[in-house]
Structure 1
């Protein structure tokens, strides 16, 4: 479908050369694209800042999830908690971190909550979460403080950052979303080693207090510059109808065509694709969270030293994050669905590999499969984040992706808390085998995904131009 939108326009020309002027073009299916405004017209600076700033904020909050497993032993000893207590604290955190995405998106899309305000509120709640983890011995209060308040704060930041980058890069969102999403994993690396080597019952409260302040300051500084693009905005250098104007963008759009229209949440649910995405993320998210929660403990039980245990988690965090960026880039070349199936299969195979490495007591193999588990266990998140606007459009993406991502609140329960019960009943080998099987089933379900309406061709494109 190659059409010059200006050649078919049926309105009079406006001040197209003036800063901020725009045209709205409509394709054959009725989808509207707002073109003509550059990123500098809207922001006053290049849109790449809307990649780097969310990335930095995501690195700051990653300590809450990806480094938590390395702090559990000290927290248990310091507060008198059981292993089950610490697992449930993380599970509640995951539940609320994921659960806030949909209501936050609903508030943002109605103009009640701006991106900047969501980030400020989230930063303050994260600080309160770390203060609770440091100073509250009562496990119920710690669950409320870190699990509920801290989880809600991290979720506000996570959802805002992911939606922000997707809106600013509609023509090449895979690589950009993957890059930003990656910060949520490898940003925790320094804290994993701090918790393993410089975190004990004598200093744990001061360390956690300082981490809380660090998260507050970094996120608030990034949030000051946050701004969403106008609805239907499309970068001026790429023709949304013919996909011409930039070779990389054209290649990505050929594999990942834009949504046929802007789907409301109700419409997205009725397609059947959003519920299928939700089920798939429940399953894969549970396997990923299981690995995050138990890898260090499994390494120690097998008999590997603390360096290997810490390194395995460090490797998982780094590769989890780098894998998100790499897979996001690959999805622009291969297509989102193919890439998603690939990483879910890899995640499942890695679970069986961890069992094998533990059985033969091979430290290097354990690190290899920790590498693969980390790669697969993080890379599917940016795939769902990019698939959602690819399938349903950008205008309702905050709520649509909030619904998809809410699957993580269920996966957090069986990946962490219920995972500990499976370990107690079946041992680590049985639990890892079950995780591998669940991942393979999720890959089979992902094969059923398709873009709603993408198979329909309504004929040649038409376009209308307006000015603003």
Structure 2
């Protein structure tokens, strides 16, 4: 996008909002950062929670799976509601659910209470994720990759600040009061930040979805879209509803690619420590790989999101997924060779090019299907994370038993490469439908 177009969108947004649209990005990123612990801090919480309840940690092994299912599965109904009724009420609900989930976890005394608290929190996380990503898509047609990247980066990077706090204050030798205080404090932080986001976040008016900065009708005013959101009559792109989107072959190809890449990346995320141990690499190598993985994930989303804006989302996606696959192949090679430094570097490379899918896919969905219904449309695509989680967790766990570690990781790399090649076949729906 040109600088003139950027300035045009900035000026139009300021007229509507009364302040810079970039404050929406700040609010969305803050909300994402504080709910990220549900996904990225659980590995540090599972054992302390089990000790607090006096049970084995294995009894809580399904909590994270349930979180992924609820967080991903909730996004379509949430997105559908947001596209029709706005984001503010949903954000208030998210503050109660996501903040309350951690507070409830602090006072849980039974396993079922832990599952219930984390599931309610996961629903709140799903709301925040949908609202944050699609706020970027709706308000920044000129900078979708960058702004969506900032939000998803915050989701991955924000929890890094809380991991030391959690690990230092939930040790086995600490009193139960300290454990409760840690979880309660995190819950209160989540509640306050998301509630503040609810004050700032809002959706653009109908005329915004023509997506042409400075375009006006013949009288110098803003042309309005028609009732069903199809702005093609006024020269803008068609705004697909979710039903219309499902009738395009492009969506199903994108969905298959999303599942494939999710499976390969979640396999690496979940199993990188065990894989390093399998190859007798030093414990510090496994720790370093696990520590750098979320940081690489966060940076990759931001960098390739900006690249998608400057070049092309589809070409960026093709290169990203191919390099992710090559990175996974390198993880296997250097693991087999017993080269720890390059092994860690390969993990960083694979993650750097895997994680931008959470930036590139929503950008492409908004480009192809319009921004008006982007919350519901991208939520349907994002539901592929559920199947990716099953593929990267349960299925690859079974494959490790039958094929072995190296072949399983090579298969994960192959899935990423196939997704990258498949991206070459994707075309805008208007070109073929």
Report the TM-score range of the alignment, normalised by the length of the smaller protein. 0.7 to 0.9
C-alpha distance after superposition, 1:77-131 (max 9, x if no partner): 5553455x544321211111111111011112222xx312212211221233324
Take 1:129 and 1:296, find their aligned partners in 2: how far apart are those partners?
28
In the TM superposition, residue 358 of structure 1 has moved relative to its aligned partner by 2.9
Distance 1:240 1:286 in 2: 42
1:46 matched to 2:20: yes
Deviates more, 1:132-141 or 1:269-278: 132-141
**How many angstroms apart in 2 are the aligned matches of 1:150 and 1:305?**
36
Residue in structure 2 matched with residue 150 of structure 1 by the alignment: 121
Look up the match of 2:417: 440
Give the unaligned 5+ runs of structure 1.
Answer: 1-33, 242-257, 457-468
Q: Is contact 2:323-2:353 (8 Å) kept?
A: yes
Structure 2 CA distance for aligned equivalents of residues 377 and 102 of structure 1: 23
CA distance in 2, matches of 1:198, 1:372: 32
Provide the aligned length of Structure 1 versus Structure 2. Answer: 403
Deviations 1:162-211 (A, max 9, x none): 11111111122122211222111111212344455554233544433322
Give the equivalent residue in structure 2 for 1:277: 254
Checking the alignment, whether the CA contact within 8 Å between 2:210 and 2:236 is kept in structure 1 is: no
Bigger shift: 151-160 or 363-372?
363-372
Tell me the residue number matched to 1:95.
Answer: 69
1:183-194 map, 5 Å: 183-194=154-165
Stretch deviating more after TM superposition (284-293 or 195-204): 195-204
Assess, with a 3 A threshold, how the Cα gap between structure 1 residues 101 and 427 changes in structure 2: closer, same or farther: same
Aligned with residue 224 of structure 1, among 199, 204, 207: 199
Aligned match of 2:224:
none
- Structure-2 separation of matches of 1:301 and 1:204: 33
Separation in 1, partners of 2:260, 2:280: 29
1:181–1:324 contact (8 Å) kept in structure 2: yes
More helix by share: 2
Instruction: Give the deviation of 1:73 after TM superposition.
Output: 4.7
Q: Secondary structure at the match of 2:200?
A: coil
State whether structure 2 residue 93 is matched by structure 1 residue 116: no
- Tell me the TM-score normalised to structure 1 length: 0.78
For 1:140 and 1:419, the matched residues in 2 are separated by: 28
Provide TM-score, normalisation by structure 2.
Answer: 0.84
- 1:144-183 alignment runs, 5 A limit: 144-146=116-118, 148-183=119-154
Tell me, in whole angstroms, the C-alpha distance in 1 between the residues paired with 2:336 and 2:46. Answer: 25
Q: Describe the superposition over 1:210-234 as per-residue Cα deviations: whole angstroms up to 9, x where unpaired.
A: 2222222222222211111112416
Gaps of 5+ in 2: 1-7, 217-234
Q: Which has the higher contact order (CA 8 A, sep 6+)?
A: 1
Listed one character per residue, the Cα deviations across residues 346-394 of structure 1 (whole Å, up to 9, x for unaligned) are 2222222222333333332232122112212210111011111100111
State whether structure 2 residue 295 is matched by structure 1 residue 318: yes
Contact 1:262/1:394 (8 A) holds in 2: yes
User: Separation in 1 of the partners of 2:350 and 2:93?
Assistant: 33
How far does residue 297 in structure 1 lie from its aligned partner after superposition?
Answer: 3.9
Stretch moving more, 328-337 or 304-313 = 304-313
Contact map agreement 1:36 1:235 (CA 8 A) in 2: no
Structure 1 counterpart of 2:331:
354
Q: Partners in 1 of 2:114 and 2:129 — Cα distance?
A: 22
Structure 1 residue 452 displacement after superposition: 1.0
Cα RMSD for the two superposed structures? 2.9
| Cα distance per residue 1:24-56 (max 9 Å; x no partner) | xxxxxxxxxx99972222111111111111011
